[in-house]
Chains A and B, each alone.
Chain A
């Protein structure tokens, strides 16, 4: 074969590939009346509990819809999210889309993986529905639909509540030194400043930190409160040091601490104020139905990952019902834009960029019977827009 022929062949292959990509971008095929949803969440490693929890919620939502939406059957395919190596997650997502035929991706859980697969999914025209937040930059002209709100706004009500309801003037903050930690806690800090407060200290905990003593002793004790978010086990370790040292500065915890860790350390959190995205005690009919259905099937109390996988599953079914199972980003954006969604955390909606706004609940740690609970105190509506 001559060089010219080789070049021609290469150009032809590239042109066909480009054509395929373009067609994927323009229309959302349903492959003979079937929509394939790919769930990307960890099932191995230190975050292995996320995957099964998300699968429970998503399967519950799809089962309620009888695994159908918009006249198409829904098939669920699960993929293990590699939390340490984003390139591995990207390869698995490529297989999910190209071999398993996923039309919609739910997940991943971790922001680094969302960033890693966003460009590919956008190029393929495959929508990515996040369950536990995400960077706003992944929506808009990219293919993400972000639930329950963009990271930069999701914790904002905690700052507002600290200034307006608790009357605090000066706070310190504590969060992990990576994108989600900065975005979430800066959102709360900015809201606090907007309400007239002053942020006098911000401590960022580097990834891999195992010892929290330095951050407890390093706190500026002149502040009115410490606004913090850490992953549950780190938060529990920090609170243990905090209590041992006898520090009296009130804690305001974004997310609080989830079960089962909360049940192990709840005695040290009595009266602590938090901000929940999901809470199983929320008094909405949809939440009561969900918690009952969960208990009937899995015998227990659902956590946030399960709850939001369930909600995102419901949102997808709603959109597919409205757009006759068209899975393209454009059709799903149009179907969800401004639509009032009756969710387990109350009324919610997506905007035209695919970013959700939903309720946040101020909570207080308390013991109810034999369990520690985050008791709802106040609701902030439409957080995120």
Chain B
């Protein structure tokens, strides 16, 4: 049971890491490899406000989301120079990883910030022999809240319908009088804000580090590949499956644990390239 609890806790962290990336890729067809860098900005912003400046955690995390939303606006402007050019988008966003990483070292120093210590989230909840740290419960709560929010926005709102319509047929959507550029901007802002919130709340267990742009990107890409693009339930399911598999493999086959996730990804690519959700871009 402890392994299951650990897996669900890790799955929640993974969902927060991957959901913004999945949203952008699924809704706009943009592979923003700088997503991990935006996550890092959220983590460092939260550290600055909550740990260095003494803000309460929740306002600090929301502020990190707002800062990252602004970063999202900047990224969207950059991506406008290369619409519909996936190779150029990949190169641009990959280069941004290094720009953000080095900027973070200049601003916050090269030494990583330890997991954020928040008094009211210390300790653990014990259920029988199973112990779940309180900060993991907070992360899971935020993760499921974000999942619900994204699902509602994507599947149950007019904005979500416009996003899906733009993805299916951009020309027709524009012909109907919908300002697709504004929709794209909104998705960038939402995806980046989610990444910022993820970095902030994820900092409770992962801290903040200039190596996060690459670390987070790798995990997020695995989740997106396994979950399938553009599906909030698919991303959530993939996060939980990967979290559980990772926890179980570290418990049962520790020497193989770092390979298991990549084997899973390779297996999905071979057997079900569209991922768990079965949707395509």
Contacts and interface: CB of A to CB of B under 8 A. Distances in A.
Contacts of A207: 258
Contacts of A123: none
Nearest to A267: B117
Interface in A244-276: 244-246, 260-261, 264-265
B257 interface: yes
Contacts of A246: 123-124, 131
Contacts of B105: 48
Nearest to B134: A244
A233 B112 contact: yes
Interface in B203-251: 205-207, 209-211, 215, 219, 246-247, 250-251
A47 B105 CA distance: 10
Contact of A211 (B113, B122, B131, B205): B205
A28 B124 CA distance: 62
Of A46, A214, A218, most buried by chain B (CB within 10 Å of CB) is A214
Do most interface residues of chain B lie in helix, strand or loop, or is the interface mixed? helix
A236 interface: yes
A213 B123 contact: no
A8 interface: no
Given A211-B206, A240-B115, 13 more contacts: A204-B255, A211-B13, A211-B205, A215-B250, A236-B207, A241-B133, A241-B205, A244-B122, A244-B135, A245-B124, A246-B131, A261-B114, A264-B117
Nearest to B123: A244
Given A206-B258, A245-B131, A213 B114 contact: no
A46 B110 contact: yes
Given A208-B215, A211-B10, A244-B135, A237 B258 contact: no
A48 B110 contact: yes
A236 B112 CA distance: 11
Interface in B117-153: 117, 122-124, 131, 133-136
Given A46-B210, A208-B258, A214-B6, A261 B115 contact: no
Contact of A264 (B114, B122, B246, B250): B114
A335 B45 CA distance: 53
13 contacts: A49-B109, A208-B215, A210-B206, A211-B10, A214-B3, A214-B6, A215-B250, A232-B111, A233-B113, A237-B205, A243-B122, A261-B112, A264-B114
A87 interface: no
A23 interface: no
Interface string B41-70: 000000000000000000000000000000
B152 to A, nearest CB: 29
Contact of B133 (A44, A206, A244): A244
Which 10 residue pairs of A and B lie closest in terms of their CB atoms, listed nearest first?
A206-B258, A236-B114, A48-B110, A244-B133, A233-B112, A46-B211, A49-B110, A214-B250, A245-B131, A240-B115
A170 B254 CA distance: 21
Contacts of A48: 105, 110
A237 B206 contact: yes
A265 B114 contact: yes
Interface string A28-48: 000000000000000011111
A246 B130 CA distance: 12
B133 A218 contact: no
Contacts of A177: 255
B247 A47 contact: no
A177 B219 CA distance: 20
Nearest to B206: A210
Of A44, A204, A232, A244, most buried by chain B (CB within 10 Å of CB) is A244
Interface in B1-54: 2-3, 6, 9-10, 13
B105 to A, nearest CB: 6
Given A206-B257, A264-B114, A245 B133 contact: yes
A217 interface: yes
B138 to A, nearest CB: 12
A214 B115 CA distance: 16
Contacts of B124: 244-246
A213 B6 contact: yes
B218 to A, nearest CB: 8
A183 B56 CA distance: 43
Interface string A123-152: 000000000000000000000000000000
A20 interface: no
A214 B251 contact: yes
B6 A217 contact: yes
A218 B109 CA distance: 33
A240 B113 CA distance: 13
Contact of A47 (B102, B110, B134, B205): B110
Contact of A233 (B111, B131, B215, B255): B111
B111 to A, nearest CB: 6
A263 to B, nearest CB: 10
A301 to B, nearest CB: 15
A203 interface: yes
